Amino acid sequence: MQQKEKIRTIFNDVKKLRDSLENYFIHCNDNKEIPTKLGMLIYLNITESTIRNWKQKKRNTFLQQIIWAYSQINHLNLQRLLKSNSSYSAWYLERAFVKEYHLSTKIDIKNSDNVAPITINLENKSKNKC
């Protein structure tokens, strides 16, 4: 019963949803957890189908809060990665943001003696390069 009340309360009140989202990030920080989309859904006690329902019902105010939270999760995880190993960061960025930045891996092999270093670059394939 309490579970249904929590979902109904969050679903009907944007401010409570925002407060719950902010509390999720505080919870992650306090417990040294890495924020994730799945972790957020579990913390809020909602499912992907709830978010799909919001989209279908055009509950834009709720979606804006979820999009804000997704942006926070991406930002926090990106900051964590950039502070760690640079090669791992490049690997992650190429895979995580391939659609946003139209990235691809370009491997240049300078000569065929198998001694020369291999250069790997991320390339923006978009016409509108940032």
Provide the number of structural domains found in the chain.
Answer: 2
Full residue range of the structural domain in which residue 105 is found: 85-130
Is 55 in a helix, a strand, or coil?
Answer: helix
Are 92 and 36 members of one domain?
no
Q: What is the pLDDT along the chain (130 residues), one digit of tens a residue?
A: 445 555 555 567 788 889 999 999 999 999 999 999 999 999 998 888 888 888 787 667 888 899 899 999 988 887 887 777 667 777 777 777 767 666 665 655 555 566 665 565 656 555 555 5
pTM: 0.62
Are 79 and 89 members of one domain?
no
Are 42 and 29 members of one domain?
yes
User: Concatenated DSSP letters for 57-94?
Assistant: TT-HHHHHHHHHHHHHHHHHHHHHHHHS-HHHHHHHHH
Are 71 and 23 members of one domain?
yes
Are 110 and 94 members of one domain?
yes
Q: What is the dihedral of CA 103, 105, 106, 110, to 10 degrees?
A: 150
Are 46 and 68 members of one domain?
yes
Are 69 and 5 members of one domain?
yes
How distant is the alpha carbon of residue 18 from its chain centre?
A: 17
